Structure 1
Amino acid sequence: MHPPKIRLASPDDAALLAELNRFVHDIHAARRPDLFKEDPSIDELTSGFKDQLGRESIKIFIAELPDGRPVGYAMATLHQRAANALMHASSFVVLEHVAVAPEATRRGIGTALLDAVREAGRKAGCTRFMTEVWDFNSKASSFFEASGFTSAWRRLDQPL
């Protein structure tokens, strides 16, 4: 098995990212239809990714197989927070999305994408790497835990 090629996304990749997003979005829409649209517009997603790709604080990486086929992506936001009365100054990177094609899972692609985000965070001076995961997504939780993440806090949800 050859390692995936990881590259930084360009504005020309917006439509590709919109398509790759379905691998993770479909899981969320199936489990939380109250929050996630069942069939989001590819045009709206493409426009949203174009906007994200234009922001300096956002890094998006694409994973490709040795044959050049794209099979996943990771999107992260770099944060710089000033000190205040309660907290020290901090710099951290937050993984916003990670998606891998189902036929490409368990091949090191997710790990390679996380490694790219870690490295981007380090280069930006970040000292922490954070993400969130839905409780219903046990595969993602297991993957993140195996990748060295530990629970730092919990976000609770209640319908009104």
Structure 2
Amino acid sequence: MISIRAASTDDLAILATLNAIVHDAHVHHRPDLFVSAPSREALEALLVSRLSDPHVTFLIAETPGGEALGYAMARVVIRHGSALTLPDSYISVQQIAVAPSASRSGVGSALLNEVRELGRAAGCRRLVTDVWDFNEGARAFYEASGLRCMNRTLDQEL
């Protein structure tokens, strides 16, 4: 049985450990963009900053015994309308990380479902995320969860 709870600053060590799963993949594939070995202090300061943002929620998935299996970070985004766009509110999955030992066991799906519930409770009408092109596993997970491609970002080194 997986339980999901909101994270707090008491969970910094857990969040930092789980963040490394995703960060290491980013560093491996895009060393031109990501710090290879962020300092623990800098990472924890970044996490504290995000935890204190009222629009951001961190969720931790854990076993009944309290073993952390994964986390999600989500942000509620309110976009005001303009001459060209309609007003919008959505919840953005900023990151989901699942411990390798819990991969393909429903942890990611449980976290994503909880993010959906957070979005509904906040009055959001959509769930969005972005996925690095190299992350085929994440793309397959999100597509299997019902998300579809909305746009693509392309880059080129100059």
Smaller-chain TM-score bracket: over 0.9
CA contact (8 A) 1:93 1:130 kept: yes
In structure 1, distance between residues paired with 2:78 and 2:9 = 24
Match of 1:41 in 2: 39
Classify the secondary structure of the residue corresponding to 1:62: strand
Letter in 2 for 1:147: S
Q: How many positions carry a matched residue from both structures? A: 158
Q: Which runs of 5+ in 1 are unaligned?
A: none
Letter in 2 for 1:73: Y
Letter in 2 for 1:97: Q
The within-5 A match list for 1:57-68 is 57-68=55-66
Query: 137-146 or 8-17, which moves further after superposition?
Result: 8-17
Query: 33-42 or 106-115, which moves further after superposition?
Result: 33-42
Alignment match of 2:102 (pick from 89, 93, 104): 104
Alignment match of 2:10 (pick from 12, 28, 51): 12
Match of 1:79 in 2: 77
In structure 1, distance between residues paired with 2:36 and 2:73 = 21
Letter in 2 for 1:65: T
Match of 1:94 in 2: 92
Match of 1:147 in 2: 145
Query: 112-121 or 37-46, which moves further after superposition?
Result: 37-46
Match of 2:27 in 1: 29
Letter in 1 for 2:31: P
RMSD of aligned Cα (Å) = 0.9
Deviating above 2 A after TM superposition, structure 1's stretches of 4 or more consecutive aligned residues are: none
In structure 2, distance between residues paired with 1:53 and 1:134 = 24
In structure 2, distance between residues paired with 1:71 and 1:46 = 19
Give the fraction of aligned pairs with identical amino acids, expressed as a percent: 47
- With normalisation by structure 1, the TM-score equals 0.96
Classify the secondary structure of the residue corresponding to 2:60: strand
CA contact (8 A) 1:5 1:63 kept: yes
What is the CA-CA distance between 1:37 and the residue it aligns to? 1.5
Match of 1:53 in 2: 51
